Structure 1
């Protein structure tokens, strides 16, 4: 357990760069990346089912290990369309460069069958993450410079096979969150940092109505984080706190064997982003709000379709597409999260050098609708900044995974 907690700390330093809607990290394995994460709650192909649907552990035999890492490269380039200020400090014309950069999402999964019906497992991964960073002198510096959220979670799980066709699963998640926000003020650069541990559950159901079809239903509960840390500005340090609720997620998946070589996967997921109403930074000493940002996000849906082709005993080819709604409303979009809906196109390949070992490689490109922003921020009496423009966004993801059955 202590070794796993050490890995959690390491993962918290890696995670960032959301590729899912909002700041969700879908990239929790590489075997699913090639299918655009279609069928995640029903595939139960390797030990990563611990995260996607703990009931799927009952479909595995013996002891299974999966280790994966996804490299995520978001790109967000701003073009000004008439930003302005009412204050004495000119905004300039620097568009901020590319606010996206490479980040990495590693994950570790292990499954152990205790008996014919009972199976235990554990996952260590980073379910949420975000990082945007602009040039410090960019035109929108009074609204955002750096925004980063890192999470790392450890989830012990248990599954029970009710009968030959139905299994259920349960996981208890402990999740660490770390956040950093910076922006310019009239007194200099303000930096807020905070961290917290939060706790939640995951539930799963796997049902196989026919030998060729599996149905999966998975639920991940919301996790409330009460971040505590410091606000640093002009040489002073002020203890502050902020509450952030990471949403619950419901996923329904189908995996169907169309023919001996062909498998069809589908996925529909709902994420309860409407919990994210506003982000308040509160001074701990007296409860005064030092910064408040209305968010007013909406619930989002994701739809995915994938296919696998078994070329030979050693090779499997994957492909998938997905449509991912954004929870961000146009009139509340911020420079910290310039999110919009996206369309996934993914491919992947699996190579099995041995019957009990597999290497997966996946790639996905996300076509992101160009988001617009028109946001006014008050900084002081009679001093406001208005950021107005458009973004050119895209995301590329490359993943590698090693799986082994003992």
Structure 2
């Protein structure tokens, strides 16, 4: 069959998801550690205080003295106010498009001897969902987006000497995504619409590597690298609805589709310093190479060239994302042998820009404040609980397309996050 390009320069199945529900920007999820969440993930690559270090810095497993199992989840509740909306299509702007989302995690670490440790973790590094009301005014630029990435990471760490440890783990990543959008005429008086839906999935490999250096028993620094992951999603494109007067174009139907996508690499550098037996300070910075999201092409088997050239069912979304930095500081206070209190503050840059920001990713620079505690009723058991609140700079949407018309709006985004985890050592 003849291959034709339906969507060019589109962030489609995996990345077309609004990020207002995540505690990290773009479509990254930060919720791989509830203890780290309590201090806004400051010191993520240097804290190495429980089994969640398998994600934060695999070299940190060398600090754990006993086998440990840790599992938990975070729930994210997002809120968006859409203001000053206008466009050629009629409709509503409720802003209630981010459903409450749960983010699970689980880890096991086994210190084999004084040098080697082994562990395995299951977590969600990327994944978001937006579901606008059916009458959303900007529906021609995207009204439903969903992505889930689940990662399994077997990991080893090795203590080179009393100060230096290294760790490495391959990652097995499963991605599933779905994108939907209305298709209509740019003429304001033409209300006829069709729909295009794209679904796909893939499994791909990456890796997570880290170095931990302990300057003194009280001060340590960590560097962690999460690799990019190259996907080729296989799935279907479905076009349905009215034919918008294009009687000569028989484009309705279901077509085999494929999409090549790279999720970005990131590097986290942090430091942890224990002031005394009670106070610990954390700080860190994370670089994410979001500029990889430039041009993504969905190829469809059997879609007639006439339909493609007429942009029937086309979703063209130029993103032009930029690399970003996130910064965080935090502290913990050991109240007694049973209770540890935590707090933190973070600032996270948005990869989007005013020219290409769309209703799918209406995110701005964000600030995150967190509180948390750890309760250890016995030396073997710890319960961690954390709460985070984030607020964003106003994000402006200024979309214009010859085939879809216009949509302009200002998004005011915020979110609450609540997480809990249980760790057991034996």
Q: Same fold (TM over 0.5)?
A: yes
What are the Cα deviations for residues 58-81 of structure 1, in whole angstroms up to 9, with x where unaligned? 000121111010001122232243
Check 1:386–1:121 CA distance in 2 against 1; reply closer, same or farther (3 A cut): same
Alignment of structure 1 residues 255-274 onto 2, 5 Å: 255-274=272-291
Deviations 1:319-350 (A, max 9, x none): 00000000111111011111111001000011
Shift of 1:36: 0.3
Q: Is this contact kept in 2: 1:282–1:291, CA < 8 A? A: no
Q: Which residues of structure 1 form unaligned runs of 5+?
A: 1-14, 85-90
Q: Deviations over 1:140-160 (max 9, x none)?
A: 111111011111000000100
2:107: which partner in 1?
109
Alpha carbons 2:21, 2:128 under 8 Å: kept: yes
Moved more, 267-276 or 287-296: 287-296
Q: 1:359 is matched with which residue? A: 383
Residues 289-308 of structure 1: pairs in structure 2 closer than 5 A = 291-308=315-332
Select the residue among 412, 415, 418 that pairs with 1:392.
412
Q: Does 2:237 correspond to 1:220?
A: no
- Which residue does the alignment assign to 1:92? 90
User: Aligned-residue CA RMSD in angstroms?
Assistant: 1.8
1:133 to 121, 124, 131: 131
Equivalences for 1:131-170 in 2 at 5 Å? 131-170=129-168
Indicate the residue corresponding to 1:323 in structure 2: 347
User: Which residue is 1:376 aligned to?
Assistant: 400
How far apart are residue 392 of structure 1 and its match? 1.5
TM-score, L = length of structure 2: 0.87
Between 1:236-245 and 1:298-307, the stretch displaced more is: 236-245
Tell me which of 8, 25, 33 is aligned to 2:29: 25
Instruction: Name whichever of 231-240 and 298-307 sits farther off.
Output: 231-240
CA shift digits 1:258-308 (9 cap, x unpaired): 121100000100001000113332214589795432111000000000000
Question: Aligned pair count?
Answer: 382
Unaligned runs of 5+ in 2: 1-18, 185-192, 241-251, 306-312
Q: 2:216 aligns with which of 177, 191, 210?
A: 210
Normalising by structure 1, report the TM-score.
0.91
Q: Does structure 1 conserve the Cα–Cα contact (< 8 Å) formed by 2:20 and 2:98?
A: no
Comparing 362-371 and 75-84, the one that deviates more: 75-84
Q: Which has the higher mean CA deviation after the structures are superposed, 91-100 or 252-261? A: 91-100
Which of the pair has the greater relative contact order for Cα pairs under 8 Å at 6+ separation? 2
Contact 2:20 2:413 in 1 (8 A): no
CA contact 1:18–1:128 (8 Å) conserved in 2: no
Q: Which moved more, 1:358-367 or 1:273-282?
A: 273-282
Partner of 2:422: 402
Whole-Å Cα distance in 2 between the matches of residues 287 and 114 of structure 1?
Answer: 60
Are the counterparts in 2 of residues 96 and 137 from structure 1 also a CA contact under 8 Å? no
What residue in structure 2 maps to residue 41 of structure 1? 45
